[in-house]
Structure formats: structure tokens, C-alpha cells
Chains A and B, each alone.
Chain A
Amino acid sequence: MSRGNELPRYSSSREHASGILVAALGSTFGVGLLQATGFLTDLFDTGGGGTLQVALASVALVFILLALYVAAIVTANTFGTIVAGRARSIALLRLVGASAHTLRRSVAREGLRVGAVGAAIGAVAGLAISHTALRIGIATGTLPDVAYRAIDPLIVLPVAMVVLTTWLASHVGSRAVLGVSPLQATGAAEEPAPGDENRHVVRLVFAILLVAGGTGMLALGILLGLVSPAGIIVAFFGGIASFSGVVLGARWILPATLRLVGRLFGRSSPVTLAAANAVRYPERSTRTTVGLVIGVTLVTTFAVAMTSYESFLFSEYPDSAGDPSLTITIAVLGGLIGFSAIIAAVGMVNNLSLSVLQRTRELGLLRALGFTSPQVRRMILAESAQMTIAAAGLGVLLGIGYGWAGAQALLGSLAGATLVLPLVPWPLVAMLIVGTAALAWIASIAPSRRATSVSPLTALAAT
């Protein structure tokens, strides 16, 4: 057995690596995209007074906002996980007299630093990538060698937004600090405080109202869509409202989904324990999975809507089949949306790793009581698979629903006022299955290695 003397500690750099990475990805994406629109303007907009750039940048901003929205959710949840892991030290500080609000502010300040560092890294990366791509384009003759701008001033926009959203997200995520009671420093049971049940009830009511109202609006949008493409506007807001309800109510929806998925895995002891872990802490599993649900929902919604749109075009205008510009447009838009899913995946991996690492003591106890290393590894893999499958599965289902509703509301009147079945983009589903499996596996690597390299004694002594 290994007997490393190293105590399992999570320095704040390890804790914040994920937050910085997510912020950097968001900023790279934003800066790269705006640089690209700048280059395109230099290429095509010869003396057009900048209208082309305004149009391009506006489209780019939609995707940047989507990516940053996902990044913010992921970051808020990561900070929630970090605070949960620090509950004991926070309780100790509270015990000796620190005020909850001071502690929360200090966590949010960490968020500001994470955002600033990530945004700066992303700005450099985005500039580097955009110029490298430009050089390659020119060198291969794909792009003409005209005078391109070096740095588009608009890139301050995503950089500033990343700093702000990360700060805001860390503030929201650190709300859990307020729920830590000084008593937790003395308790032997590691359990987050049950929290304010009243607030939960209010939240549940809001979630139900949003889902119900939003679904109603979606239905209305679909009906309107049968007579006019403007139905999409009603459906759009219905979609936003109902999805916000799903996100708000995630702590009720996801555990139920996890329970369902957990049944698929059989009843061996690693699996049963993994299922218990996933289900018994609704807050923890929700934090880990909700970002991925959002990412997968976005991608699927887009893909289903596009597939329906394409097939509608082909049936109405058979000439358009195989039109390369349509294919390219869809691929580019898909890639832009896909970036949000990548951010969600990164967040999921880090969140899951963190939350397993925080359970070092529990894993030490299991090892002391007779859990073999392979069993621990299987437990962690089962847990991460269960979470990933539940999140991706829920995302796909929601995405198919939203994508279909969107396509129906937009095209229903044009297609002769009929309802059509949702078109499922099977290549995307296949990609999601592979991606989900890879994600589950990747997310389990670091915690598995940690859990099996530390001796049970060292793990039990961890705080």
C-alpha cells in the first residue's frame, strides 16, 4: 500500500483552475469571434461605413452571450462546490467571529481575480489564434492578402463581460457561505446545513410557474405558427421562460433523473454507493450537472431546429438540396453553439473532480472498511457516468422538444398549417453518446487516481 505523507489539500489554485479555464475559454471565444468579424470587415467592407461590421458583430455577440451564460452558470456552480468543500474552515472562521458577509465578499473577490486572470489569458489566446488562422489563410491562398486590423477594439467587450460575469457568478455561487453555521466546525457529521426550507418552497413555486407558463406560451407559439411565422416570437419567450424554470427547479428534476439512470447500472456495491452519492445530495449533483444540461439542450435545440428547417427547405425548394452555402452556414452556426457545450463539459469535469476530491475522508473510510482500489475506481466511474448520462439525456430530450417547437412555430404556416414530427439529427445523437461516455471517463480520472493513491490512513486523517 502506498503511504504518501502528503496530506490531501486543495490549494486555491487547484480549486480555481476550473474557473480560470472556463473564463479563459469564454474570453478566447469572444475575442476570437470578434477578431474574425473584424477581419471579414476588412475583407469585404470597402468603404461601407461599418454597417457590415455592426451586423457581423451583432450575430457574433449572440453566440458570445450564449457561451458566457453557460460559463456563468458553470462558474456559479463551481463556486458553490468550492464553498461546500470549505464549509468546515468557514464554520471555524465564523466560530471565532468572522461575519458571513465578510467571508462571502472575500470569496467573491477570488471570483473577480479568477475572472480577470481567465479573461486576460483568453484575450491573449484569442488574439494569437485569430492571427495564426489569418496567417494560415493567407499563406494557403484561402484569404487575399489585404490590410487586416491587428486588434479589433471591440474585443474589450467580451473581455470585460467575462470579468463581470465571473465576478457575478462567484457572488451568486458563494451564497452558500451564508448557510454555513458556526456549529458545523464542531459537528462530526459532514453534512451541509439543510438550508432555508421556505426559500426552497418559494423557488419550487417559481420553477413550476415558469415551466407551466413557458410551456403554455410554447404551445401558443406553435398554434400561432400554424397561421404565421411570427409564432416563433411567442414560442421563443415561452422557451426561455420554461427553460429558466427547469434550471431553477433543477434540484428537484435532476435527482429524479439520476435515480432513473441509476437503475440502469445494476446493484453491485460500488454502483449502489455511487447511486446513493449521486442522489442523496441533490444540491451537489445538481451543481455538477446543470451546466451540462444547459449545454446539451442548446446544442440539441439548435440541431433539431436546423434539421427541421433543412428538410422543410428541401421539400419546398428541391433545388436547395446540397447548396454548399447552406451547409457551411449550418456547420459554422453549429460550431459556434457547440462552444457553449464545450464550456459546459469542462465545467462538469472540474466540478465532479472537485466534489469527489472533497470526499477524501469518506473514501478513506470505505478503503479502511474493505473497499478495494478497483471498487473505488468503479464507484467513481459509475457516479460520473450516472451524472453525465442523466444530464446529457435530459438535455437531449429538452432540446428535441425546444428545437421541434421552434421549427414548428416558424415553419408551420409555410408547410401548409400542419404539425410535423420532430426530426432527430441522429449524427448529433451519436456524437453526444460518444461525447458523454468520454466525458464520464475523463471526469473520473483525476478523482480515481487521487482516491487510490492516498492510503486509507492518510485519507481518514484529511480534514
Chain B
Amino acid sequence: MIAASLLKISIQALWANKLRTGLTLLGVIIGVTSVMTIISALEGMMGAVESQLDRLGPSTFIATTIGGVATSEEQWHEMLKRKPIDIDYADDILEGCELCEKVCPRTFNSANIKYRGERLRDVFVMGSTYNLIDVVDFEVDQGHFHSREDDIYRREVVFIGETVREALFSGVDAIGKSIRLDGKKYTVVGVAKKMGSMFGQDRDKFVVIPLDVSIKQFGKPRRNSNFVIKARSVDDLDEAMDEARIVLRSLRHVPYDKPDDFILLTADAILDQLNSVTRIFRMGLVGISSISLVVGGIVVMNIMMVSVSERTREIGIRKSVGARQNHILLQFLFEALLTTLTGGLIGIVLGYIAAASLVQMIDMQISPSVFGMVAGLSISTGIGVIFGIYPAMKAARLDPIKALSYE
């Protein structure tokens, strides 16, 4: 009951002092906005990477020679010197790894594509087997992915990304049309669903052709290849990776006392690595932006100190009619909390808007995060309490007589 009345008194005091309240709000808003911008943007980016990696599926891993995150220059050089992954190993892996359900070799090249008068340069060309679609989840928009027969008979068929379709076939049905990849003729059998861009990279500017057709046109791959392997189930993933490791070590003649000269990557592992590499960077950013929070807090404290000394008489009057220390403390703490919470809410919204526009520059989207909101509200409440408690205590402890005779 008393608390409710005190809250009302605080609101009225804030309302009566619009300029001061506005300035305090501004201090809080600047602080919270900058922290929230950084947190939301970072969280959004990590979320986007995560959702991208999700395409790999939880029971899938990649076998490659170069990949993951190199933690030193030597490691990077060592990776570059490795023998490439031989795509002919697909059958050996499938045979030697009981728990591996599908093994898809992939090659990566680039080509210029032409259809009638239209052309598109530097398109990413993936060569793979028909079952890639079961392992990596491209979603099919029109037509279908190439078939087992297409692989066996080495048919010149192509599955195209949305950017390719748009560039060559705007307003025309693409299925069944002939396009040229570096001059060679292919028939379009399917179109993938749009994936959008990320980090400024267009993820729809690609085509997929049968593996052997790609080897015929581009030659046997050197470093530009890897395997996508799907375990029988998520639970089997770890064991499947162990089995695949043993097969690959023996195929690549790795001595028993030497480390692997290849990497098996899961989505989780990539994410973990990314997280650990970017952690310090992220903490640094949050740390730097926190400085503005401290500044905001000091603004709150300063203005409250002025407010307390300006209202010394009021405090004296309240005490003379029976306000206890806690009543005065609460009244001033409420004022601090109301301003910082309001500022915090505004800061969260502004921070989100700022983060969204920042992240849009690298072709990503973020959604409002619960973590961000909770963090923003706790941060602003924290400022309110931490920087509000001292002035409020000072007010609460004033001697009634001195306060009443204060000029």
C-alpha cells in the first residue's frame, strides 16, 4: 500500500521535472542502445551462421583436408600441403564404415553460364552424386535433383540455384531448357529454393551437375573436393566418425603415430570453433560498449544527487510528518528505476533497430531476441539500483531538522 503510494509520488515527481527526467533518460538510452546494438548484432550473426550450418543436418559430417578454423599460421600451411581428398574413396568409406549411410563426394569449380543472349559469370559449380539432396538439404522449388541414372549414364543435366534461374530465365520456365557451362551444353532438370545471401555472399548463385560429368569437364579435383557423410542416426554420429577416420587413415597411409591429415567436421564442431575464435572479439565489443553504460549510470547518479539536494526541504517535510528512512529510500529508488527501466525499454528497441540495420548491410536478418531483452532490462535495472542507491540512501539518512532548515 505504502509502496504503491510512493511509486505514485515518484511518477509525479518525474513528470513534474520533465527536463531533468528527459536528460536522465537520454543518458540511459545512449548506454543501453549501444550495448543492445552490439549484443543483438552479434547474436544475430551467430544465429545466422548457426542456421546456415543447420543445413548440414545433425547426423552429417564433412571429410576434408582444409577447413574448420586454423588456429595458427603453421597449421594453415600444414593444411595446404595435405594430399587432396580422393573422391574415388567414396565406395571404400561406405564399405569400411558400417554406420555411414550415405557418402557424397563433392567437387567445386566455377564457370560462366549462357542461355541464348543471357550470360552469368563465375557461377559456383558443384559436382556430386544423386544422393547429395538427401544429405545436404537443398530444397527443390521446381523439377527435381539429378537421378541415379543421370550419374550412371553421365548425362549432362543441371540443377540450378535461384540467382541463375532469375538471370537466365526471367519469366520463362527453366525446366528442360539447354544452358551452356563454359560452352558445354546441359539440360536444366530442377531449380533450388531461394536461400538468400549471407555476409554479402549470394548463396543462390550455384549449379549442381553429376560428379562424373564434372570430372569430365573440369578434370579430377585437387583441393577443391570433399565428402559429405551421413551417419545412420544422430546417435551413431560419433562412432560413424571414428569408423570413417580409421578408413581414411588407412586409405591415406597415415602412420599410426601421426595425427590425421584430414578433418572431420560437424556443424556443432564448426560452430564451437567459430564461437571460441570470436569469443574474445565479442567480449571486447560488449566491454567497450559497456563504457557508455557506465557513463549513463553516472549521469543518473549525478542528476539524482542534484535532485536530492534540491529537494532536501521536501525530504525534511516528509520526514517531519512521519516518513521512515525506507519510505524516502524507496521514493528515490523508484525514481531511478522508473527512469532507467523506461530508458532501458527505449534503448532495447533502438538497439534492435540499429542492429537490424547494421546486420542488413551484410545481407542478414535478426529477430528480436529474448536474451537481448532480458539482458537489456537487467542491465538498466542494474544501473538504476547501483547508481540510484547512493543518492537515495543519502536522502533517506538526512537529518529532519537540518533538512527542514536547508535553504
Is B one of A's binding partners? no
